[in-house]
Amino acid sequence: MNEHQTDLPQSATDTAPGERRLTRRERRKLMEKARKRRKRRRRRRMRRVRAWRAVRSLRFWTRALAAFGVALMFVFWARFAYVYDIPDYAAAFLPPHVTAYITVKTWWFGPPVIDVGAYEPDFGAMTVSDPYDVLLQNMGSYATVLSHPRIVWARSS
């Protein structure tokens, strides 16, 4: 039965022969019953629609936040570098007690993490008059993150 149809006779001519005609009170009760049934169906349908909208909204915001996170990681990789493992002789040229920091790179799309200790000169094989200059030379184009850092965040000891 369609939700707009009722099981009530519409007029006196709708009654089958031999059936008794409904009184006004009986007809009102049946109409009230049908109205309640329609109302329940509508409430159920509205709950389903609201639940589906909530799921769609949740899916949208989850995807939006994931895309924002990926964009943030991309920007960090493109323009910022985390510099750590700074030797003592190089730390003398930085603000006091800085052990690691995030800096703005002078280039785009380089390594996002720079381990300065990996560029240290081998002191066992040779004698170095100025280890800081040799370190900067070993770092090559990445030396600016150590020699002229634009520090965004710093971890202190």
> For 42-94, what is each residue's pLDDT tens digit?
999 999 999 999 999 999 999 999 999 999 999 989 999 999 999 999 998 99
127 vs 25, residue with greater confidence:
25
Alpha-carbon gap, residue 132 to 48, rounded angstroms:
68
Q: Residue 8 corresponds to which tokens in the numbers above?
A: 């009530």
CB 95 within 8 A of CB 127: no
Tens digit of pLDDT for each residue in 120-147? 887 776 777 888 999 999 999 999 999 9
Q: How far apart are CA 146 and CA 25, in angstroms?
A: 92
Res. 155: pLDDT tops 80: yes
- Taking alpha carbons only, the member of 3, 86, 1 closest to residue 39 is 3
Say how far apart CA 17 and CA 134 lie, in whole Å.
112
- Chain centre distance of CA 124: 49
Dihedral sign of CA atoms 3, 6, 11, 13 in order: positive
pTM of the model: 0.61
Task: Give pLDDT tens digits for 100-110.
Answer: 999 999 888 88
* HSE-up (13 A, CA, CB side) for residue 139: 23
Residue 34 predicted with pLDDT over 80: yes
Residues facing 155 on adjacent strands? 100
pLDDT band at 7 (very low <50, low <70, confident <90, very high): low
Tokens of 101: 């920091």
